[in-house]
Amino acid sequence: MALIKSISGIRGTIGGKSGENLTPEDVVKFVAAYAHWIKTQNPKKTYSVVVGRDARISGEMVKMLVNATLTGMGIDVLDIDLASTPSTEMAVTHFNADGGLILTASHNPKEWNALKMLNSDGEFLNAEEGESILKIAENGTINYTSVDTLGKVTSANYHEEHIRAITKLELVDVTAIKEKKFKVVVDGINSVGALIIPDLLRALGVEEITEINSKANGHFAHPAEPLPENVKATCEAVKKHNADLGIVVDPDVDRLALIDENGVMFGEEYTIVAVAEYVLQHKKGNTVSNLSSSRALSDITQKAGGQYFASAVGEVNVVAKMKAEHAVIGGEGNGGVIYPELHYGRDALVGIALFLSHLAKLNTTVSELKKRYPEYTIIKDKITLSPGLNVDKLLEDIAKVYHNEKINRIDGVKIDFSNGWVHLRKSNTEPIIRIYCEAPTAQEAHELINKMKENINNSFTN
Instruction: List active site positions.
Output: 106
DSSP-derived secondary structure letter, 18: B
- What is the rounded distance in angstroms from the CA atom of residue 106 to the CA atom of residue 345? 14
For helices 348-362 and 268-282, the axis angle rounded to 10 degrees is: 60
Sign of CA dihedral 238, 244, 249, 253: negative
* Main-chain phi, psi angles of 71, to 5 degrees: -65, -35
Beta carbons of 315 and 332 less than 8 angstroms apart: yes
Q: List CB contacts of 171: < 8 A, sequence separation 6 or more.
A: 278, 279, 282, 283, 341, 354, 357
- What pairs with residue 185 in β-bridges? 210, 246
What is the longest distance spanned by two Cα atoms in the chain? 68
Q: How far apart are CA 308 and CA 299, in angstroms?
A: 8
CA distances 314 to 18, 20, 95, 450, Å, are 28, 25, 26, 26
